[in-house]
Amino acid sequence: MFDHIDPRSPTPLYAQLASRLRLAVAAGELRPGEALPSVRRLAAQLRVNPATVVQAYRDLEHEGFLEMRQGAGTFVRDVPTGRRTSERIRQATVLVRQLIADAGRLGVSLDELHSAILEEMGAKAS
Amino acid sequence: MTHAIDIRGLHYRAGRSFEIPSLDLRVPTGAIYGFLGPNGSGKTTTIRLVLGLLRPRAGDIRVLDRPMPRQAADVLARVGYVPEQPHLDPTLTVREAMRFQAAFYPTWDHAWAEELLVAFELDERRLFGKLSKGQKGKLMMLLALAQRPELLVLDEPTDGLDPVVRRDMLAALIDYVSEGGATVFISSHLVHELERMCDWIGVMDQGRLVTELPMERFKNGIKRLVVSGAPPAVAAPFSLLSRERNGAATETWLVRGWEPEMHAFFDSVGASLQRVIDLDLEDGFVELLRTFRTLPPRPEEVR
């Protein structure tokens, strides 16, 4: 799940981690009630500072995606469908914004980008 | 804030060739402090001074709140050290090396040492002299961790080792730190490894500490800007480390202390800011050294 954590990115690691977890909850990849790895285990697995994992978990607890139970661990909360949908839409916007910025840098026009998207979507649907 | 390592006004000289004129360095308790610098910058010397293996000519070194080297015996019982070159008797087996080390440390954790032995896939009967480089590294890490130190001093512990070995060693290190909150002082050339786990960064060059900052501030502050139409002299709200022409149209500025709102500054001097390029730790480190060597030190850059 955390393969794309990039220490070189200007986005802080805790924010990358939080964003990945938020999407996993929104997309149902993580189910309500499911236990997350302990701070110690996840930090060791990713070889990141434990404080980075703590901060990501805290942020998501604050947003209502996770629940940290003293001594028991960290669990996924039952997030209402509407909230999950809006989170996915937010992520979609982030992706598209990135795509448009990349296209601009490479000199690809918006029309060209748009038709490429439609074509790829058509290819996937058929 | 308390400091696991607190160095003030340290002066050290080895012959005529190498000198640390006056070093101040502070490692906050509980931090994972990455110590960067090119070969010969004085990192290993500083580490050896911290451990009381070398004597300073002047200045104060406190480690875990005790003066060094005066209380070295006391301090070293609470410090784990992984040296650049593993130095153990080559005729000891892995098991004997463990038993030998355990005898010096009342806090030695036998159960965990056994777990690490298995996790690191070390053969207890093998002679130290017959171990591969990676196995030696793992054994040194095991010996340092199993003594349950309050401070770990690691001098390029994973440099020159393969990625699988590095991963195992660092995972064990992080596991220990998560559990007990020990302080880590680690030097390495593998900047991306430090970038993942460190929350403090110190950069050494030519016997001087170039900078010492929390990682976030180090990474956020340094940017490369592409600028056009700027007047020759500017009073910028950030610190301008260097300025180079890229042909006729644009210049590249290396700046420190950049904030997004500072965009407005360029309009105010009739210039235009075309791009802001993020620098990762390695770029930042390289640029910092370059400017440190070409410019006279500025008061705000050198503490």
pLDDT in tens, A96-109: 998 998 898 889 99
Q: Are B178 and A50 in contact (CB under 8 A)?
A: yes
Give pLDDT, residue B295: 61
Q: How far is A32 from chain B (nearest CA, A)?
A: 26
| Mean pLDDT of chain B, nearest integer | 89
Looking up tokens 């080895």, which residue turns up?
Answer: B14
Q: What is the pLDDT of residue B77?
A: 93
The pLDDT score that the predictor gives to residue B297 is 52
Which residues on adjacent β-strands are paired with residue B14?
Answer: B18
Q: What is the pLDDT of residue B293?
A: 77
**Total Cβ atoms within 10 A of residue B259:** 11
Q: Out of B78-82, B85-89, B215-219, B298-302, which region has the weakest mean confidence (pLDDT)?
A: B298-302
Q: What is the DSSP letter of B261?
A: G
Most B CBs within 10 A among A39, A49, A57, hence the mutation to make, goes to: A49
Instruction: Check CB contact of B79 with chain A, cutoff 8 Å.
Output: no
B174 vs A9, A10, A43: nearest CB: A43
Q: Residue A10: is its pLDDT beyond 80? A: no
Residue B127 DSSP symbol: B
Q: What is the mean pLDDT of residues B84-109?
A: 93
Q: What phi and psi, each to the nearest 5 degrees, are found at residue A74?
A: -115, 130
Q: What is the pLDDT of residue B301?
A: 44
pLDDT at B302: 42
pTM for this predicted structure:
0.85
* Distance in angstroms (rounded) separating the CA atoms of residues B230 and B250: 9
Q: How far is Cα A49 from Cα B206, in angstroms, rounded to an integer?
A: 29
Contact of A10 with chain B, judged by CB distance below 8 Å, is answered with yes
Which of A2, A3, A8, A57 should one mutate to test binding to chain B, selecting the residue with the greatest count of B CBs within 10 A? A8
B178 inside 8 A of chain A by CB: yes
Within a 10 A sphere around the Cβ of B270, how many other Cβ atoms? Answer: 9
B218: left (phi over 0), alpha (psi -120 to 50) or beta: alpha
Select the highest-mean-pLDDT range: B166-170, B239-243, B248-252. Answer: B166-170
Q: Write out pLDDT tens, residues A16-54.
A: 999 999 999 998 899 999 999 999 999 999 999 999 999
Other C-beta atoms lying within 10 Å of the C-beta of residue A28? 13
What distance in Å separates the CA atoms of residue B203 and residue B210, rounded to the nearest whole number? 5
Chain B contact present for A48, CB below 8 A: yes
pLDDT of residue B190: 86
Mean pLDDT of B18-47: 94
Burial of B28 (0-12, 13-18, 19+ CB in 10 A): middle
Give A51→chain B minimum CA distance, Å.
8
Give contacts of A 13-32 with B, CB under 8 A. Answer: 13
φ and ψ of B40, to 5 deg: 80, 10
Q: Flag whether pLDDT at B303 surpasses 50.
A: no
Tokens of B119: 């996790």
User: Mind listing the pLDDT tens digit for each residue in B149-164?
Assistant: 999 999 999 888 999 9
CB atoms within 10 A of CB B36: 27
As a whole-number percent, the residues of chain B with pLDDT over 70 amount to 97
- Point out the residue among B171, B195, B281 whose CB comes nearest to the CB of A45: B171
Q: State the ipTM, two decimals.
A: 0.77
Average pLDDT, chain A: 89
Look up tokens 């999950």; give the residue.
A84
Closest by CA to A9, choosing from B213, B290, B195, is: B195
Closest-CA distance of chain B to residue A90, Å: 23
* A85 close to B (CB below 8 A): no
Mean pLDDT of B11-31: 92
Domains in chain B, start-ordered, CATH in brackets?
3-217 (3.40.50.300), 223-301 (no CATH)
- Report how far residue B202's alpha carbon sits from residue B5's, in angstroms, rounded to the nearest whole number: 13
Report how far residue B1's alpha carbon sits from residue B122's, in angstroms, rounded to the nearest whole number: 39
H/E stretch holding B268 reads helix B263-268
Cβ contact (<8 Å) for A50 and B167?
no
* Chain A interface includes B177 (CB < 8 A): yes
- Of B35, B39, B68, which is closest to residue B53 (Cα–Cα)? B68
Residue B300: its pLDDT value, please? Answer: 47
Q: Summarize the confidence of residues B81-86 as an average pLDDT.
A: 91
Mean pLDDT throughout B238-254? 84
Confidence of residue B282 (pLDDT cuts 50, 70, 90): confident
Lowest mean pLDDT among A62-71, A111-120, B228-237: B228-237
Residue numbers in B near A51 (CB within 8 A):
199
Nearest Cα of chain A lies from the Cα of B279 at a distance, in angstroms, of 8
Cα of A52 to nearest chain B Cα, Å = 9
What are the residues facing B255 on neighbouring strands?
A: B223, B240
What span, in angstroms and rounded, lies between the C-alpha atoms of B259 and B261? 6
Q: Is B220 helix (H, G, I), strand (E, B) or coil?
A: helix
Q: Does A121 touch chain B (CB under 8 A)?
A: no
Share of chain B above pLDDT 90, in %: 57
